[in-house]
Chain A
Amino acid sequence: MWDNLVNAYSFINIRFLMEGAWVTVQVSVISIVLSSIFGMILGIVRYVRVKILSAVLGFVIDIIRNLPLILIMFFTYFGLPNIGFKPVPFWAAIIALTIFESAMIAEIVRAGIESIPDGQMEGARSNGLTFWQTLRYIIVPQAIQNMIPALVSQFISLVKDTSLATIIVLPDLMNHAQIIYGQNTNYTIPMFIALAVMYFVVCYALSLLSNYFERRLQRNGAVVEEDISEVGTN
Chain B
Amino acid sequence: MIEIFQNYGDALLRGFGETILCSIIALIFALIIGSGFAILESTPIRWLRIIARAYIELFRNIPLLVITMFFYVVIPMYVLDISGFVAGTIGLILYSSAFIAETVRAGIQSVDTGQMEGARANGLTFWQAMRYIILPQAFRYVLPPLGNQFINLVKNSSVLAFVAGFDLMYQGNVIASDSLQSMSTYMCVGVLYLIITLPLSYYMRYLEHRLS
Binding site for B on A (CB under 8 A): 62-63, 65-71, 74-75, 78-79, 82, 156, 160-161, 163-164, 166-167, 174, 178, 181, 185, 188-189, 192, 195-196, 199-200, 203-204, 207, 226, 229-230, 234
Contacts and interface: CB of A to CB of B under 8 A. Distances in A.
A207 B61 contact: yes
B183 A66 contact: no
Given A156-B61, A200-B61, A226-B212, A188 B66 contact: no
A229 B103 CA distance: 10
B42 interface: no
Interface stretch (B28-36, B131-139, B147-155): B147-155
B120 to A, nearest CB: 26
Contacts of A188: 73-74, 77
Interface of B: 57-58, 60-66, 69-70, 73-74, 77, 99, 103, 106, 144-145, 148-149, 151-152, 155-159, 161-162, 169, 172-173, 176, 182-183, 186, 189-190, 193-194, 197-198, 201-202, 212
A166 B201 contact: no
B99 A74 contact: no
Contacts of A75: 183, 186
Given A68-B169, A161-B63, A230-B148, 13 more contacts: A66-B155, A74-B186, A78-B186, A79-B182, A79-B183, A163-B63, A163-B65, A163-B66, A181-B73, A196-B70, A203-B60, A230-B103, A230-B106
Contact of A71 (B60, B169, B198): B169
Contacts of B202: 62
Contact of B62 (A160, A164, A167): A160
The interface centre, meaning the residue of A68, A74, A163, A181 with most chain B CB atoms within 10 A of its CB, is: A68
B186 A174 contact: no
A164 B151 contact: no
B64 A79 contact: no
B66 A62 contact: no
A66 B169 CA distance: 14
Nearest to B64: A160
Contacts of B169: 68, 70-71
A104 B13 CA distance: 29
B57 A66 contact: no
A79 B77 CA distance: 37
Given A163-B65, A207-B61, A71 B77 contact: no
A71 B152 contact: no
A160 to B, nearest CB: 4
19 contacts: A67-B190, A68-B157, A68-B193, A70-B158, A71-B158, A71-B189, A74-B186, A78-B186, A79-B182, A160-B61, A163-B65, A167-B161, A181-B73, A188-B73, A192-B73, A195-B66, A196-B70, A226-B212, A234-B149
A209 to B, nearest CB: 12
A166 B65 contact: yes
Contacts of B77: 185, 188
A68 B66 contact: no
Contacts of A178: 69
A230 B97 CA distance: 16
Given A68-B155, A68-B169, A192-B74, A174 B61 contact: no
A69 B64 CA distance: 13
A193 B62 CA distance: 11
A167 B186 contact: no
Given A71-B169, A71-B190, A164-B159, A66 B61 contact: no
